Amino acid sequence: MKKVISYFIKYHVAVNVIIIAFFIFGILGAFSLKSSFFPLTDSENVLITIAYPGASPQEIEEGIVLKIEDNLKGLQGVERVTSTSRENTGSINVEIEKGQDIDFMLLEVKNAVDRVPTFPAEMEPLIVSKLEAVRPTISFAISGSNVPLTTLKEISRKVENDLRAISGISQITIAGYPEEEIEIAVNENSLLAYNLSFAEVSQAVNNANLLVTG
C-alpha cells in the first residue's frame, strides 16, 4: 500500500489520468444504464391461445385441449401444464423449468402442437407465443351523464387511435363495455301462420351467419 501511495505522489499525472478515466466511464455508464419501475424478468411461460367460435367449453376441452396436452406429456424442460376452457375460447399455459432456453422451448411446444393429427375444421389457427409480462403505465376512465354507451365507445376508439400515434406506446387495452350483438325477436303467431318452429328459424339464421376474415 505504501508503494502505491508513493508511486502516485511521485507520478501525479497518473492520478489525474485515472480520475478522468473514472469520470468519463461513469458518464458513459449513466447514459447506458437501463431502468425499470418493475423488475425485468425473462419469460418462463409459453401460452397457447385457442379460438373456436360457437363451441362450448366441453367441445374445446375434448376436441382441442386434451389432444395438445397429450402431446406435451413427457416434453423435456416443461415443469407444469395448465389449461382453461371457456365458451368460444381456451388457453393452455406451459410453464418452463428454470434455466431452460425459452426460445428453444417455444419451438418445442410449437412442434408438439403441430403433431396433433386433427383439429375441428371451424377452429381458428392456434397462436403459440411467449407469455410476456405487461406493465401498465396509465389507467383512466371515460364517462358522462346521460351519454349513450355507443357514444362512449366511439370516443374511446378515437382516444385509442390518438394514443397509438404517440411514440413509445406498445399496447392499449379498452374495457368496460359489452360486446355488440344482434337480437332477433320471434312472434309466436307468425310462426304458427307460416307453420314454422323456433328451431327452424334458429337454423336459418345460423346458416345465413357467415364468419369471413378480411
The CA-to-CA distance between both ends of the chain, in Å, stands at 76
The per-residue pLDDT for range 59-81, each reduced to its tens digit, is: 999 999 999 999 998 888 888 99
Separation in Å, CA 115 to CA 100, 196, 203: 22, 46, 35
Instruction: Give pLDDT, residue 48.
Output: 93
Instruction: Give pLDDT, residue 38.
Output: 61
Instruction: Give pLDDT, residue 102.
Output: 87
Separation between Cα atoms, residue 61 and residue 154, nearest integer Å: 36
- Distance from chain centroid for Cα 175: 15
Contact call for residues 4 and 14 (beta carbons, < 8 A): no
The per-residue pLDDT for range 156-194, each reduced to its tens digit, is: 889 988 888 888 777 888 888 777 778 888 888 888 888
The per-residue pLDDT for range 118-154, each reduced to its tens digit, is: 888 888 999 999 887 666 778 888 888 888 888 888 8
What is the average pLDDT value for the chain, to the nearest integer?
A: 84
Separation between Cα atoms, residue 145 and residue 138, nearest integer Å: 23
